[in-house]
Amino acid sequence: MKKEILIILGWIVVVGCSSNNINAVYEPIYLEVEQPANFPEISYNLDNNPVTEAGFELGKSLFYEGKLSANDAIPCAFCHEQAFAFTHHGHTVSHGVNGGIGTRNAQPIQNLAYQTEFMWDGAASHLDLQPVIPITSELEMGETISNVIAKLQTDSYYQSQFTKAFEDGEINSENLLKALSQFMVMMVSSNSTYDKYIRNEDNVTLTDIELDGLATFNNKCATCHATDLFTDHSYRNNGLSINPSLNDEGRYAVFENPDDLYKFKVPSLRNVAVSGPYMHDGRFSTLEAVLTFYDSGMTDNGNVDAVFSREDGTLGITLFDYEKESIVAFLNTLTDEEFLTDERFSEY
């Protein structure tokens, strides 16, 4: 009798599991990546990896999934927190598994569909490849891709979600990376006060000091922080002193071209008011400190961008007090509350 009950229970469990997979089918519902009127064209090749509802949901689950790390406790979101434009709040450089301390400040995750190179030095030349770096980095998630795949393969949620998201339904590295990209390319931040002002929406206006800041910014900063993405995607050396304990050579590490020494990717300034601390090593904790640095804190590290050469032979961008104050007021208009609280990108 007892044996029979066990057999029946066993049967229910088996049927229960497999019906889970039988229910999961690939019936793609396509989602469109936003193309705001004031943005350049999307650079991510969507034909290669079109975003679907199921792929996006899978990518989001993976982004918040501890199993992508060696100790099952460090998801991508550990260092990329939504309220801070997906940066690692309160950390100059990020720390990961087993308390490992990284060497760089976590970058925001926003508007990546409009970028072709990733990381502070551009070491990742395709968004679909970027996550391999944090997953396998000893200091970040410390895991191997094959272990991640093995863990996901034994999880019934992922068994059915991969089936829904991809035609071949395979839980493999290609689909893992494609799903993460589908989630990340949807993360478009384009609804700050500034955006609404520039697109003439909802009668949004800027105050006098914000407008003064915008004008000074266009004059003195927009060569590099260009377009409404606020970056020209170039690598520049902006005269930061070398941190001897890190000696981060920036773009030089990628191609060992001497001309690239201490160059870093020009960061977007969207949501900059919430994404501090600033620069590749998080050395400045406020925007005021950044502006004081541009005005009077540059170091000749040997390869500083010519834009910063002043007539008197010193390096920097001269900024009077009111200019600093108004630039900060303008930068604050780049905060996009809708993006920072958008539930499509939130864990729960």
Rule CB under 6 A: say whether 119 interacts with ligand HEC: yes
Out of 164, 225, 233, 270, the only residue in the binding site for ligand HEC (CB under 6 A) is 225
Task: List the interface residues with ligand HEC, window 3-62 (CB under 6 A).
Answer: none
Judged by CB under 6 A, which of 52, 54, 58, 134 binds ligand HEC? 134
Query: How many whole angstroms separate alpha carbon 274 and alpha carbon 222?
Result: 20
Does 267 engage in binding with ligand HEC (CB under 6 A)? Answer: yes
**Closest distance between ligand HEC and the C-beta of residue 224, in Å?**
3
d(CA 238, CA 300): 9
Which is closer to ligand HEC, CB of 201 or CB of 300? 300
Residue 195's CB is within 10 A of a number of other CB atoms, namely 22
Report how far residue 167's alpha carbon sits from residue 178's, in angstroms, rounded to the nearest whole number.
Answer: 13
Output the smallest distance, CB 348 to ligand HEC, in A.
18
Rounded Cα distance between 274 and 266, Å, is: 18
224 marked among binding-site residues? yes
The DSSP H or E segment spanning 235 is strand 235-236
Residues written for the chain? 348
Q: Which residues contact 149 (CB under 8 A, 6 or more apart)?
A: 171, 172, 173, 176
Contact between 70 and ligand HEC by CB under 6 A: the answer reads no
Query: Is 106 a residue that touches ligand HEC (CB under 6 A)?
Result: yes
Helix, coil or strand: residue 236: strand
Of residues 154 through 213, those in contact with ligand HEC by CB under 6 A are 180
* Residue 269 binding ligand HEC, by CB under 6 A: yes
CA distances (Å), 263 to each of 26, 86, 300, 302, in order? 45, 23, 13, 11
Q: For 76, list phi and psi in degrees, rounded to 5.
A: -50, -40
By CB under 6 A, name the one of 51, 54, 58, 79 that touches ligand HEC: 79
CB-based contacts of 125, cutoff 8 Å, min separation 6: 116, 117, 118
- 318 three-state secondary structure: coil
Report if residue 317 touches ligand HEC, rule: CB under 6 A. Answer: yes
Question: Between residues 24 and 130, which has the closer beta carbon with respect to ligand HEC?
Answer: 130
Residue 17 annotated as lining a ligand binding site:
no
Q: Which helix (H) or strand (E) holds 264?
A: strand 264-265
**What distance lies between CA 184 and its chain's CA centroid?**
8
Positions at the binding site for heme c: 76, 79-80, 221, 224-225
Positions at the binding site: 76, 79-80, 221, 224-225
Applying CB under 6 A, the residues found at the interface with ligand HEC are 68, 74, 76, 78-80, 94, 96, 102, 104, 106-107, 109, 112, 118-121, 130-131, 134-135, 140-141, 180, 220-221, 223-225, 236, 238, 240, 264, 266-267, 269, 272, 275, 278-280, 287, 290, 294, 305, 307, 317, 327
